[in-house]
Structures are given as C-alpha cells and as structure tokens.
Amino acid sequence: MDHGHDDIYARNMWWSADETRYLHRTSGVPAKGDNWDVINVASGTVTHTGIPFGSFAADGGFDPVNPNVLYYLVQDRGDGHGEIHQVTLGAGGTWTDTVYFTAPAALNGLGGMLNWLDAAGQYMLVRYGSKPSVHVYNRQNLGAGPYANPINGSNYVDTGAYRGLSPDGQFVVGYDGRAVGFASLGQGVSWRLDHTNRAVAATPNVFWSLCGDHGSFLSSSDGHNYMVTYDCYSQAGLWRVDITNNAAGLNEAQQQALPNNKLLLAYATWSDFGHVSTAARAPMQDWAFTSTEDSTDTFNSGTADASGSITPWHAYRQEIVAVNVVTGEIRPLAHHRSRSITTDYYSQPRLSASWAGSVVGFASNFDQQGVVDVYAVAMTGTSPSNPSLTVTRAGTGSGTVTSFPAGINCGATCSASYASGTTVTLVAPAYPLQAGTSLLNLSSTISNAVISV
C-alpha cells in the first residue's frame, strides 16, 4: 500500500459488510492528510479518499450489514454533545456525511479493539457522559433511549482495555485491565443483555484471568459465546473460553477445567504469542485467527541464503494461523514476514478478520526497516454471497416502504443488497391505508427474494 501507520486491530469493522473493502488510515502518507481511505481488497486500489475519522480513529468503521456505510465518532461538536456520523459511499469515489446519532453528552472511545455493533447491526454500544458511561441501544428504536444499568468504563477502557458487543448481540464483553484476577494480569468480563426488559446485567461476570487482554470474541455455531485468548502459565497456548463461566477466585487448573473451555493450539515456545481476531457471522463464525510474533526474529538475523537471512522455523512460528474453535481444525494461512516487531508498534501484525472471515488482514514490515504495509490473505472457498432484496408494489396503494437495516426506501419499486443471513424489517405506514397495501412491519430473512408489497 502506501506505508501509512494503520490502526488495524482485532475487530471486524475495518471491513465492509460484503468483505470487498478495507478501511485504511493514511497517517504519515506523503501528500495526504491524516484521514481514511477505502481500498478495494481484490485490486488494492483506493476507491474513496479523504474520509474523516473524527475524534477516535481506532473506534470508527464499517456497518455490518450495509456495505456502503461506515461511521466515525465526534467527541464534542462544540456544545457538550457528541455525535456518531454516517458516511455513505457513492459511485466514482463520492461520499456523503450525515449525523446518525447525537449523544446527550460528550462521547468517549471504547478502546478500539472490539465491534460496538453486533453482526446483525441491531444493537449498538456507545460511551458518553459521566460514569457509568457505557450504554446499549437497540438501533431499531433509538428514540427509546439506552438500556438500564449502564456500565462504568473506568476499570476497562480507562485502564487501557476495551468494551464491545458479542457478535450475536447477547453480551457486552471486554477486559478489566486493572491488576486483578489470577496473578493480577486482569480478567475477561461479560454482561448478559436482557433485550425483553431492555437492561444490562447489574454486575459483570468474570470468566478468565490467566493472561493479558489480547483476545477476540465469537458467537459460535454450537450456541456458545467464547473469548479466544491465551494462558500465560503452565502451557503456552491459545484457548477457547466460555464467557458465561464464573472464574472469579479460581486458579489456573480450575479455570482450564470450567465447562466448554478448550486448548486450541499449543505453542512450541513462549515467544509465539501474538494477536487474535475472529469472524462474526456465518459461514465462518467458528473460526479464529492468530498471528504468532516471535520477537527473537530480527532484521538480518539468521543464516544467509538466496532468500536473505533466515532464522530456524518451528511449527506456527511467525505465521497467520486459522483455528476452528468447534472442530479443532488448524489451517496455517501465511508467514507474515514482519521482523524486529518490538522496535515498532506498527510492525506488529495486529491482524483483523472480515465480518464472515473470508479475508484476514495483517500489518507487516516484510523484513524492511522503516516500511510497514497491510496485507490480506483469503480463506479459500469461503466468500459469502450478497443477495439482493427487491420490493415492488402489487396493488394501487401509495406511500413509502423503508427498511431496517437501511437500504430499502421507495414508493413503487427498489432493491438493496445485504450480507447473507441478514434479517431485514420492512416498514410501511399504517395510515392512510389504500387498496393494495399489504405490508406492515414484515420481517423476512434475505435469500435472493422478491417481496411484493
């Protein structure tokens, strides 16, 4: 790319809903301001440029459903209120910028690691005002206000950790970054959401405390929500951890033995730990991705050969690896080729999977000092389809049909594309009713369907 210092990290929001675009920060790029570019994944070409990222560059990103929509956060618009802006990408490099959400107080970031939208785009996590400051909204009814029992972010985001939503929208998740838990390295926490009563659990559940905060969350096909993270003690390894377990006060062996916890990948050395990302939806919702990052592999180290100076390799060393958390299948995807990664934060792979896991991006200096780019590797044979929903008027009625998620907005006929598996709610006005009007708040799962109205 352009050697820009990119904010890539675990969350899926760096990728468009259809997984064809990547959101890249142009920090330090000659002749460009510090903004966002949108890059076509297949060709590597910039399709849109100069998009503002607001007050928290690492917290903005793409909508999980509409491939043409992304968001950025403005901490304070000048009157004590924060805003979430919606950018809609158009043809020929054009884009529009509108206010999507106005907060009752100034906004703050969520840590820049996890999605603040669930994979279906129905729920939203937003942080504003005095503590407790982390609020949950149902995007289908923003006017109803936030859920009860907001979360105090001071023990989480303010300690260098993060908050987010599980892909299925059933939990607020994240990490308590204080010196707490087993050996005082912090602890994974979750809050169950009660959508019927619009409330967040009053207290967090502690489910793991055997390492630091590197990890990512997934909602798997077996019905469980997991964090994929590390154990830093008796065995260097990557673990699947059930976020509903209660691990408070337990030692290492007791936490490992909790229901549904499982060692996914045992490493040969303690130098193989790295970053983690996970897919958020089908068909790849069971897959996690990790980058092993051996700091002993430095520029010009090893034995010189025709390919340069090479250090000895062992299984999974300096690789991007895919792991199925349900079946246990392991797929090495690529060598990331980044060396001397402790000398430059931006040289750390910091990988990120797209929403359905068909593409995994990672940063690498590719064994070149002072040069860092983002690369992408595909999980072959897993690209999702993007069906189109068409709405046509069958009778003589009038009025406008709209949808949630956005896309449909028409009186007679229109179409919109959505990510496979998305549930779209079509809404027609109840009054005035005219002959031929037959659609009122109809929900349908998209499957290349034509719905007559």
Looking at the structure, tell me whether residues 112 and 240 fall in a common domain: yes
Q: What is the pLDDT of residue 397?
A: 66
Is residue 3 in a domain? no
Q: Which sign does the torsion angle of CA 433, 436, 438, 440 carry? A: negative
What separation in angstroms does the CA of 362 have from each of 49, 108, 414? Answer: 21, 27, 38
Whether the Cβ atoms of residue 74 and residue 54 lie closer than 8 Å to each other: yes
State the residue range of the domain holding 283. 12-378
Looking at the structure, tell me whether residues 336 and 429 fall in a common domain: no
Looking at the structure, tell me whether residues 189 and 304 fall in a common domain: yes
Average pLDDT (276-300) is 94
* Listed range (87-91, 356-360, 367-371) with the worst mean pLDDT: 367-371
Q: What is the pLDDT of residue 323?
A: 97
Given a cut of 60, whether residue 327 has pLDDT beyond it is yes
Whether the Cβ atoms of residue 200 and residue 172 lie closer than 8 Å to each other: yes
Is residue 383 in a domain? no
Average pLDDT for the chain: 89
Average pLDDT (407-427) is 66
Count other C-beta atoms under 10 Å from residue 79's C-beta. 6
Q: What is the pLDDT of residue 302?
A: 81
Looking at the structure, tell me whether residues 308 and 413 fall in a common domain: no
Is residue 152 in a domain? yes
What is the share, in percent, of the chain residues with pLDDT greater than 90? 76
Looking at the structure, tell me whether residues 130 and 242 fall in a common domain: yes
Looking at the structure, tell me whether residues 189 and 318 fall in a common domain: yes
Q: What is the pLDDT of residue 395?
A: 66
* Listed range (60-74, 106-120, 166-180, 400-414) with the worst mean pLDDT: 400-414
Q: What is the pLDDT of residue 396?
A: 65
Instruction: Identify the CATH number of the domain in which residue 21 sits.
Output: 2.130.10.150
Looking at the structure, tell me whether residues 203 and 248 fall in a common domain: yes
Whether the Cβ atoms of residue 225 and residue 244 lie closer than 8 Å to each other: yes
d(CA 45, CA 130): 42
Angle in degrees, CA 59, 61, 66, rounded to 5: 150
pLDDT band at 410 (very low <50, low <70, confident <90, very high): confident
Q: Which of 320, 353, 378 is the last residue of a domain?
A: 378
* Listed range (5-9, 93-97, 242-246, 431-435) with the worst mean pLDDT: 431-435
Q: What is the pLDDT of residue 435?
A: 42
Looking at the structure, tell me whether residues 415 and 275 fall in a common domain: no
- Report the Cα 242 to chain-centroid distance in Å: 19
Looking at the structure, tell me whether residues 185 and 249 fall in a common domain: yes
Count other C-beta atoms under 10 Å from residue 374's C-beta. 25
pLDDT band at 61 (very low <50, low <70, confident <90, very high): very high
pLDDT band at 309 (very low <50, low <70, confident <90, very high): confident
Is residue 206 in a domain? yes
Q: Which sign does the torsion angle of CA 72, 75, 78, 80 carry? A: positive
Angle in degrees, CA 49, 352, 448, rounded to 5: 75
Whether the Cβ atoms of residue 83 and residue 72 lie closer than 8 Å to each other: no
Looking at the structure, tell me whether residues 137 and 52 fall in a common domain: yes
**pTM attached to this predicted model:** 0.84
Q: What is the pLDDT of residue 385?
A: 46
pLDDT band at 314 (very low <50, low <70, confident <90, very high): confident
Is residue 2 in a domain? no
Average pLDDT (215-219) is 97
For the chain, report the end-to-end CA distance as a whole number of angstroms. Answer: 46
Looking at the structure, tell me whether residues 73 and 196 fall in a common domain: yes
Residue with more model confidence, 169 or 315: 169
Q: Which of 341, 357, 378 is the last residue of a domain?
A: 378
Residue with more model confidence, 1 or 280: 280
Looking at the structure, tell me whether residues 57 and 75 fall in a common domain: yes
Given a cut of 70, whether residue 366 has pLDDT beyond it is yes
Is residue 95 in a domain? yes
Is residue 373 in a domain? yes
Q: What is the pLDDT of residue 429?
A: 60
Residue with more model confidence, 314 or 137: 137
Q: Which of 356, 378, 400 is the last residue of a domain?
A: 378
Task: Count up the domains in the chain and report the number.
Answer: 2
